[in-house]
Amino acid sequence: MVSTKTSLAGLEFDNCFMNAAGVWCMTKEELDGVKNSAAGTFVTKTATLEERAGNPEPRYQNVPLGSINSMGLPNQGLNYYLNYLLDLQQTDSERTFVLSVVGMSPEETHTILKTIQDSDFRGLTELNLSCPNVPGKPQIAYDFEMTERILRDVFVYFTKPLGIKLPPYFDMVHFDQAAAIFNQFPLKFVNCVNSIGNGLYIEDETVVIKPKNGFGGIGGQYIKPTALANVHAFYQRLNPSIQIVGTGGVLTGRDAFEHILCGASMVQLGTTLQKEGLYAFERITQELQSIMEEKGYGSLEDFRGKLQYISE
């Protein structure tokens, strides 16, 4: 039987699939759903220090080739997710889970990460540098100076396993510059990619979401080539100690296979999970296993990062 198990930051997971932050992860009930599905682990909705209501609805819309959203960081606040995870460490002590966070300011980010550092939390922390939807707040990861400063300040006190969620980059020079920054720090993973920020979808003569006059992050089929490029660009450039989580445009086992071929150690489902529900984990796992069987691959290591180029 082929295996889709994986490891991240030295922690082991029975399956390489999990939700993408923002989908099926706002409440304990939703998180329990992912935990009890075929997924290997889950990540919580990106938490700020205090709870937030987010932007006015409608703020998420499925569209034929994907989705558009401008949620505006609605969440239950750090303590809700952290306390839930601390409880799970008692009841599901053999598994580990991922806590996604970001502050509304660098100071708040440090307050959050210091709270996690000082807690008994044993899982992975994902610092979200790529929320595109809070009016007036640019994405941190498109500001390289700010990104470097935050990471430099974080690693003064943070010693638990930490990864970052990145937006897509679109220029080779930006891949080089971003990787040169990330390689200075003991990051455990980078997650490529968040939604392609600030797209616009129109039906008849009207936008389909209310915030920001219809501008929102694009996910789903639209973004797979961009996601694969980012996964592979960082796989090529980052220290081998920094693993890649692949997110973006995974509808099928074939899409997941391509993410892993590009270098992903873990694969996240966002729009597909939103559209299809928890059964997507089982279906896509089975589809990936069938491809591996056909090709004679017994484990993800047999093909991870082995993307082939066209030579003379």
Return d(Cα 212, Cα 251) in angstroms, integer.
28
Q: Which is nearer to ligand DHB, 6 or 191 (CB)?
A: 191
Q: Is 195 in the site for ligand DHB (CB under 6 A)?
A: yes
Q: Which is nearer to ligand DHB, 132 or 161 (CB)?
A: 132
- In 140-283 the beta strands, taken as DSSP E runs, fall at 162-166, 189-192, 196-200, 202-203, 206-207, 215-219, 243-247, 264-269
Query: Which segment (64-72, 106-114, 169-177, 278-286) binds ligand DHB by CB under 6 A?
Result: 64-72
Nearest 10 degrees: CA dihedral of 235, 239, 240, 244? Answer: -40
Query: Which segment (68-76, 81-89, 151-159, 304-312) binds ligand DHB by CB under 6 A?
Result: 68-76
Return d(Cα 207, Cα 210) in angstroms, integer.
8
Residue 104 neighbours by CB under 8 Å, 6+ apart: 48, 49, 134, 137
To the question of whether residue 249 is assigned a binding role by annotation, the answer is: yes
Q: Which is nearer to ligand DHB, 4 or 272 (CB)?
A: 272
Q: Is 274 in the site for ligand DHB (CB under 6 A)?
A: no
Catalytic residue (choose from 16, 25, 131, 262): 131
Return d(Cα 81, Cα 98) in angstroms, integer.
10
Return d(Cα 35, Cα 140) in angstroms, integer.
30
Q: Is 131 among the catalytic positions?
A: yes
Q: Rule CB under 6 A: which of 31-50 touch ligand DHB?
A: 46
Q: Which is nearer to ligand DHB, 41 or 70 (CB)?
A: 70
Q: Rule CB under 6 A: which of 198-217 touch ligand DHB?
A: 217
To the question of whether residue 46 is assigned a binding role by annotation, the answer is: yes
Sign of CA dihedral 226, 25, 93, 250: negative
Q: Which is nearer to ligand DHB, 195 or 221 (CB)?
A: 195
Q: In angstroms, give the least distance from the CB of 289 to ligand DHB.
A: 30
Strand-pair category, 215-219 with 66-69: antiparallel
Q: Which of 4, 22, 125, 264 binds ligand DHB (CB under 6 A)?
A: 22
Q: Rule CB under 6 A: which of 115-174 touch ligand DHB?
A: 128, 130-133
To the question of whether residue 296 is assigned a binding role by annotation, the answer is: no
Q: Which of 40, 66, 72, 103 binds ligand DHB (CB under 6 A)?
A: 72
Q: Are 27 and 36 in contact (CB under 8 A)?
A: no
Strand-pair category, 124-128 with 98-101: parallel
To the question of whether residue 136 is assigned a binding role by annotation, the answer is: no
To the question of whether residue 44 is assigned a binding role by annotation, the answer is: no
Amino acid 157 reads: Y
Return d(Cα 190, Cα 193) in angstroms, integer.
9
Q: Which is nearer to ligand DHB, 6 or 194 (CB)?
A: 194
To the question of whether residue 194 is assigned a binding role by annotation, the answer is: yes
Q: Is 73 in the site for ligand DHB (CB under 6 A)?
A: yes
Return d(Cα 68, Cα 39) in angstroms, integer.
24
DSSP H or E run through 34:
helix 28-35
Residues forming the active site: 131
Q: Binding site for FMN: residue ranges?
A: 45-46, 128, 165, 193, 220, 248-249, 270-271
Q: Binding site: residue ranges?
A: 45-46, 69-73, 128, 165, 193-195, 220, 248-249, 270-271
Query: Which residues are at the interface with ligand DHB (CB under 6 A)?
Result: 22, 46, 54, 70-74, 128, 130-133, 194-195, 217
